[in-house]
Amino acid sequence: MKPIDPPKTYRVKSFGCQMNVYDGERMAELLATRGITPAADGEDADLVVLNTCHIREKAAEKVYSDIGRLTKGKTQKKAPMIAVAGCVAQAEGEEIMARAPAVSMVVGPQAYHRLPEMLDKAVQGERITDTDMPAIAKFDSLPQRRRSAPGAFLTVQEGCDKFCTYCVVPYTRGAEISRPYRDLIIEAQKLVEAGAREITLLGQNVNAWSGEDVKGAAIGLAALIRDLAKVDGLRRIRYTTSHPNDMDDALIAAHGEVEKLMPYLHLPVQSGSNRVLKAMNRSHTAESYLKLLERFREVRPDIALSGDFIVGFPGETEAEFEETLSLVDAVKYSAAYSFKYSPRPGTPAATMEGQIAAEVMDERLQRLQSALNRDQLAFNQASIGKTCDVLVERRGKFDGQWLGKSPWLQSVWFEGDVEIGDLARVTLAEAGPNSIRGELLQPALA
């Protein structure tokens, strides 16, 4: 095999969930330890990492078309060295190596800490696949955090043992594991030193996180959040994504007591029909889910609720879909994500009878999304007149404009004299479906 010039610049393209964004940042930090720098916007990169997502739709085809565009000079003038990472790499690594000779490295989500050594081999002309799943080892081998945006992600838990019948995550990310308490406190401190003001704790089942505190006592996510709230300079904490069955009293109570914990909860439900939920192996009912949300609203009446939905799960009838619409009406989400069911190879639902026709799924998705959009706009309209802190994340489209997030995770834009990373005091003035116009108060900073 022909040696390849060692890459000097890289680009990491992350698709899918926030966990992938976190992994993408960590891969970038690893490449930086080898002196490889990010390619400037619009410039060719010597190494492109495609950090892929396998959760829905033609994920693998997308990877092959991205590889084709990179090698045929459509995305860049010069073809780069290519690494495929993420969940498609985990699920289909061998096929990718066989089908795409332009790929030098295939690296799974639990193995990317070995990227630098893989790179050493790749420049010798070797092609390397690493889709091992060593429990948690990767985090110990990652460099310390040195730079952070005001809003940072911190993976605290990975993997899933729930085996919802439609989902690939238990296969691509492996079993549930929690990172140790001490490591997380240290990483949070480093992120804050590096510029973070808000940290979003990530995990496929983040509320299943468990660990031991410094005294060796068994603790859950609520206690971790309470201790993170003591980190100086950290102003806001969020967490995502939770499973209804892993919710405990302590986490609900924390929402009423920990000031830095933002009034927002993302709690996927997937369907409003108990028959469908059972077939999905969700192990909660529409009623138990609604009861749980009520408890959050009791301790934090202004909490913004968000969720995930799948329409067109095999066998879903019109009446069962309408139960989902009724659940939406009952909850009044501030924002939510909805998807057409997509059969994932190797999952039980992919071979179930009663697969739903594409047109039916399209029509159901449209109806669901119009209900969710209606509620999102209503939630935004109900916020008008409130004064809150907005974490300034970036400049807006026009001069003097800034964009940031309200405590309820709404996108807010406003004009005035602030800087990125400020918590600006803003009155919410005008609601759109996807964002809110705010007016900066004086004094401007919280």
Does 167 participate in binding ligand 5AD (rule CB under 6 A)? yes
Does 342 participate in binding ligand 5AD (rule CB under 6 A)? yes
Shortest distance, CB of residue 254 to ligand SF4, whole angstroms?
21
Which residue, 154 or 310, has its beta carbon nearer to ligand 5AD? 310
Interaction partner, residue 339 (ligand SF4, ligand 5AD, none; CB < 5-8 Å by kind): ligand 5AD
Q: How many residues line the site for ligand SF4 (CB under 6 A)?
A: 10
Q: State residue 322 phi and psi, 5-degree precision.
A: -65, -25
Q: Tell me the residue type at 383.
A: S
Interaction partner, residue 344 (ligand SF4, ligand 5AD, none; CB < 5-8 Å by kind): ligand 5AD
Which residues between 32 and 61 bind ligand 5AD (CB under 6 A)?
Answer: 55-56
Shortest distance, CB of residue 348 to ligand 5AD, whole angstroms?
11
Q: Is 21 exposed, middle or buried (0-12, 13-18, 19+ CB in 10 A)?
A: middle
Shortest distance, CB of residue 408 to ligand 5AD, whole angstroms?
20
Distance set, CA 260 to CA 106, 222, 335 (Å): 39, 12, 21
Contact predicate 390/426, CB 8 Å = yes
- Out of 344, 364, 405, 425, which residue is the one contacting ligand 5AD (CB under 6 A)? 344
Does 118 participate in binding ligand SF4 (rule CB under 6 A)? no
Distance CA 45, CA 80 (A): 6
Distance set, CA 206 to CA 118, 265, 267, 370 (Å): 30, 12, 11, 29
Interaction partner, residue 243 (ligand 5AD, ligand SF4, none; CB < 5-8 Å by kind): ligand SF4
Distance CA 428, CA 210 (A): 38
Contact predicate 285/245, CB 8 Å = no
Contact predicate 410/377, CB 8 Å = no
Tell me how many helices (H) and strands (E) the chain has: 13, 21
DSSP-assigned beta bridge partners for residue 187: none
Shortest distance, CB of residue 368 to ligand SF4, whole angstroms?
17
DSSP-assigned beta bridge partners for residue 157: 178
Using the rule CB under 6 A, give the single segment among 136-144, 217-225, 316-324, 336-344 that binds ligand 5AD: 336-344
Neighbours of 430 (CB within 10 A): 12
Interaction partner, residue 29 (ligand 5AD, ligand SF4, none; CB < 5-8 Å by kind): none
Alpha carbon 442 to its chain's center = 34
Distance CA 338, CA 310 (A): 6
Q: How many residues line the site for ligand 5AD (CB under 6 A)?
A: 12
Distance CA 364, CA 372 (A): 12
Which residue, 197 or 344, has its beta carbon nearer to ligand 5AD? 344
Which residues between 151 and 190 bind ligand SF4 (CB under 6 A)?
Answer: 160, 162-164, 167, 169-170
Shortest distance, CB of residue 349 to ligand 5AD, whole angstroms?
7
Shortest distance, CB of residue 80 to ligand SF4, whole angstroms?
32
Which residue, 81 or 269, has its beta carbon nearer to ligand 5AD? 269
- Out of 308, 322, 415, 439, which residue is the one contacting ligand 5AD (CB under 6 A)? 308
Does 204 participate in binding ligand SF4 (rule CB under 6 A)? yes
- Out of 339, 379, 402, 414, which residue is the one contacting ligand 5AD (CB under 6 A)? 339
Does 243 participate in binding ligand SF4 (rule CB under 6 A)? yes
Distance set, CA 136 to CA 82, 320, 333 (Å): 25, 40, 35
Interaction partner, residue 119 (ligand 5AD, ligand SF4, none; CB < 5-8 Å by kind): none
Site residues for ligand SF4 per CB under 6 A: 160, 162-164, 167, 169-170, 204-205, 243
